Amino acid sequence: MTIQELEIKANEIRTDIIKTLVEAGSGHSAGPLGMADVFTALYFEVAQIDPKNSTDADRDRMVLSAGHICPVWYTTLAHRGFFPIAELKTLRKLNSRLQGHPHAHSAPGIENTGGPLGQGLSQAIGMALAARIDNKKYWTYALMSDGEHDEGQTWEAVLFAGKNKLGNLTAIVDRNNIQIDGFTEDIMPLEPFREKYEAFGWHVQEIDGHNIQAIIDACGEAKAIFNKPSMIIAHTIPGKGVDFMERDWHWHGKPPKPDEAKVALKEIRTLQGKIKSEHE
């Protein structure tokens, strides 16, 4: 796909995130919208995955640590063909394969269980270690939030990956600066964030998390660094694409109401071109 096609796909995913959240009546808005470009780039360009053979032993592993942003995961998986887009309507409902926070293997493409923060990076490390032991070439991606860096387990995992020089692991953090109770730097400051990772032995890149070309390029560079785990700090705007959600931490953990969704969907439709112009 061309970059423009990927941008269009990301906005289709944003549209379905809004529709899915309204239907569910609960769930998180800001993170999923903010990460739509990263998920699109990963699933439609970067990762070696096949929706028709979703348990292939050599597939790249995609681990979502920040499980609460699963609306973007589910929507991306559906658009990529792992399960029907119509199934998104079942999110958070009884007997659904799409749980409020992800349950490993409940539907194709859902590689891990997540939600309680800080658990996914460790799981991803286990997958990367298994690849090393078995001499397999698959790559492991861990998708993290900035807020989950408050958890001690995250830093245990960061320390461990650095020690083991896990060159086959790429973590991408959604640096959107918000968490449920407010701005990350008010709740528990993370800066200097880049330097922390560098001090733990990681290769670190900082990118605009809405620039699809930049996301693809950073993932490529990460694969070239074979003797260190890679961290890509993706600076994103929470609620990206919906003016009244953008940068407002109150949208971290709630869905739009139907009338709000109407406005949101209209704004996303006119987003086309806007992302690019911001970075030209």
Partner 1 sequence: MSTSNLNPKLFNTEVEQAGTRDGYGQGLMELGEKNQDVVVLTADLAESTRVEEFGKKYPERFIECGVAEQNMMGVAAGLALSGKIPFVSSYAVFSPGRSWDQLRVSVCYTEANVKVAGAHTGISVGPDGATHQALEDIAIVRVLPNIAVVVPCDVEEARKTTLAAAEHKGPFYFRFGREKTPIITISETPFKVGEIITLRDGDDVSIIAAGPLVYQALLAAEQLATEGISARVINNHTIKPIDKLGLAKAAKETGAVVTVEEHQITGGLGGAVAEALSEAYPVPIERIGMPDTFGESGAPGELLEKYGMSVGSIKKAVKNALKRKVVS
Nearer to partner 1 by Cβ, of 40 and 113: the residue is 113
Among 49, 91, 107, 131, which residue sits at the site for partner 1 (rule: CB under 8 A)?
131
266 binds partner 1 (CB under 8 A): no
Q: Is 3 a binder of partner 1 (CB under 8 A)? A: no
Residues 6+ apart with CB under 8 A from 191: 185
Burial (CB count <10 Å: 0-12, 13-18, 19+), residue 144: buried
Cβ count within 10 A of residue 180: 13
Does 152 participate in binding partner 1 (rule CB under 8 A)? yes
Residue 192's φ and ψ, nearest 5 degrees, are -80, 115
Sheet strands (E) in the chain: 61-64, 140-145, 169-175, 178-179, 182-183, 203-208, 230-235
Query: Which of 57, 86, 94, 224 forms a contact with partner 1 (CB under 8 A)?
Result: 57
Q: 10, 49, 78, 157: which one contacts partner 1 (CB under 8 A)?
A: 157
Among 130, 180, 188, 199, binds partner 1 (CB under 8 A): 130
- Residue from 125, 144, 245, 271 touching partner 1 (CB under 8 A): that is 125
For residues 163 and 250, which CB has a smaller minimum distance to partner 1 in the complex?
163
Q: Residue count at the site for partner 1 (CB under 8 A)?
A: 35
Taking the CB of residue 209, how many other CB atoms lie within 10 A of it?
27
- At 196, which helix (H) or strand (E)? helix 193-199
Q: Of 47 and 131, which has the nearer Cβ to partner 1?
A: 131
DSSP assignment of 75-144: HHHHHHTSS-GGGGGGTTSTT-SS-SS--TTSSTT------STT-HHHHHHHHHHHHHHHT----EEEEE
**Is 160 a binder of partner 1 (CB under 8 A)?**
yes
1 belongs to the binding site for partner 1 (CB under 8 A): no
End-to-end distance of the chain based on CA atoms, in angstroms?
21
In the complex, minimum distance from the CB of residue 279 to partner 1, in angstroms, rounded to a whole number: 35
Distance from C-alpha of 98 to C-alpha of 87, rounded to nearest angstrom = 8
Least separation in angstroms between residue 153's CB and partner 1 is 4
CB of 111 to partner 1, least distance (A): 7
Least spacing, CB of residue 159 vs partner 1, in Å: 7
Rounded to whole angstroms, how far apart are CA atoms 30 and 106?
A: 24
Q: How far is the CB of 156 from partner 1 (least distance, A)?
A: 4
98 binds partner 1 (CB under 8 A): no
Which residue, among 128, 199, 194, has the nearest Cα to 162 in the 3D structure?
199
104 binds partner 1 (CB under 8 A): yes
**Where do contacts with partner 1 occur on this chain (CB under 8 A)?**
57, 61, 63, 103-105, 111-116, 118-131, 133-134, 152-153, 156-157, 159-160, 163
